[in-house]
Amino acid sequence: MSWRIDPVVAEILGKGRAGAGISGDEALVLLYLDLNSRENYALMESADHLSRACFGAKGELHFHIGLNVEPCPMDCSFCSLTRQAGIFTDKIEFSLDEILAWARQGEAEGADALNLMTTGTFSFSRLLEIGRRLKREVGVPLVANARDINHAEGEQLLDAGFVGFYHAIRLGEGRDTPFDPARRLQTIRVLHDVGLRWMNCVEPVGPEHTAAEIVDLMLLARREKATYSGIMRRINFPGSPKEPLGMISERRMAQMVAVSRLVMGDTVRAHCTHEPHSLSLTAGANLLFPEVGSSPRDGMADTGRGRGRSLSRCAAMLREMEWRPELPSNCFRQAALENGAAPTAEARR
């Protein structure tokens, strides 16, 4: 029995495995691979090899803290925090004491970053206030996940202690959301201009999205120089308008994670998968997001009591796949020092 794989696929994987990046047409070939094929398992191995060569053994833990819940008027069709979803009817803003407690927990349990997420109408000045307080209280790099910003607001985020900003042009942007993709791209370029690291994921992937539109966003992440990229699948909350469309499996997501990893080549500092699961950690991913506070994938106000995975569970998942979360971050440690923040807990040990 021959164990050879298709020579066209083998050539693409050889190029990707070396970190050179692959083209859009090559990525499409890989996204159409049968999940049961030898070629698909060779794809996952190639992406895993590349990540372990580029990132060492480091497994990243970026702790998501959702700061507020509200019936958001932006009404993105995939989000549980919207007015149209009808899940949340009151505005809830987690107290500074709660946020500080979560941040200290993150520091104590080895988080590499604190990702502060807000809904579209959350007060920007309040986000800055929280950032300034956290910068004084904890030594973990801060990442904002908020609305589109301009240059002046980017400078304010830097002054408040943030070193990064998560932002994505989502699949279906302008169709499933009220946002202009061009404005989202403008924010990404603002981040580079002011010196905030751009964090990205191709999201929220569902079965209805074509391979071509998924690959377009993978290529955008490379072209616009994301610090990390990866794949996040859409999670259908109860009553979601996307519920009839179903969801992609973790196995299909792992394939996409691997393709995205080969697209990014040697240009990134980490590669993510969300929600956390083990299979993608053998397909090029090394970054997980534990979660507390609000989440657009949950019907609980505090996802730490719902879908969100804990820091300890995510760290254990990384270790089971032979990634080491205790090592210094590839993404943020130097950026934090450059911006005057205290060293991370790991750096102090």
Does residue 278 surpass a pLDDT of 80?
Answer: yes
Helix (H), strand (E), coil (C) string for the chain: CCCCCCHHHHHHHHHHHCCCCCCHHHHHHHHCCCCCCHHHHHHHHHHHHHHHHHHCCECEEEEEEECEECCECCCCCCCCCECCCCCCCCCEECCHHHHHHHHHHHHHCCCCEEEEECCCCCCHHHHHHHHHHHHHHCCCCEEEECCCCCHHHHHHHHHHCEEEEECCCCCCCCCCCCCCHHHHHHHHHHHHHHCCEEECCEEEECCCCCHHHHHHHHHHHHHCCCCEEEEEECCCCCCCCCHHHCCCCHHHHHHHHHHHHHHHHHHCCEEEEECCCCHHHHCCCCEECCEEECCCCCCCCCHHHCCCCCHHHHHHHHHHCCCECCCCCCCCHHHHHHCCCCCCHHHHC
Structure tokens at 53: 């060569």
User: In this structure, which amino acid lies at residue 255?
Assistant: Q
Structure tokens at 6: 């298709």
pLDDT score at 332: 75
Give 348's pLDDT tier (boundaries 50, 70, 90): very low
pLDDT score at 147: 97
The stretch 29-43 carries a mean pLDDT of 98
Beta 68-69 vs 142-145: how paired, if at all?
A: unpaired
Say which residue the tokens 């970054």 belong to: 287
Q: Are 255 and 43 in contact (CB under 8 A)?
A: yes
Which residues make beta-bridge pairs with 231?
A: 202, 273
Does residue 345 surpass a pLDDT of 60?
Answer: no
The pTM (predicted TM-score) of the whole model is 0.94
Cα distance between residue 326 and residue 58, in whole Å:
8
Omega of the bond leading into 70 within 30 degrees of 0 (cis)? no
Does residue 336 surpass a pLDDT of 50?
Answer: no
Does residue 78 surpass a pLDDT of 50?
Answer: yes
Does residue 338 surpass a pLDDT of 60?
Answer: no
Half-sphere exposure of 41 (CA within 13 A, CB side): 6
Q: Which domains does the chain have, with CATH numbers?
A: 50-348 (3.20.20.70)
Q: Are 104 and 298 in contact (CB under 8 A)?
A: no
Give the closest residue to 258 by CA, choosing from 289, 282, 228, 235.
282
Does residue 36 surpass a pLDDT of 90?
Answer: yes
Omega of the bond leading into 181 within 30 degrees of 0 (cis)? no
pLDDT score at 3: 74
pLDDT score at 337: 37
User: In this structure, which amino acid lies at residue 20?
Assistant: A
Does residue 227 surpass a pLDDT of 70?
Answer: yes
Does residue 334 surpass a pLDDT of 90?
Answer: no
Q: Are 247 and 235 in contact (CB under 8 A)?
A: yes
pLDDT digits (tens, 9 = 90+) for 153-196: 999 999 999 999 999 999 999 999 999 999 999 999 999 999 99
pLDDT score at 2: 58
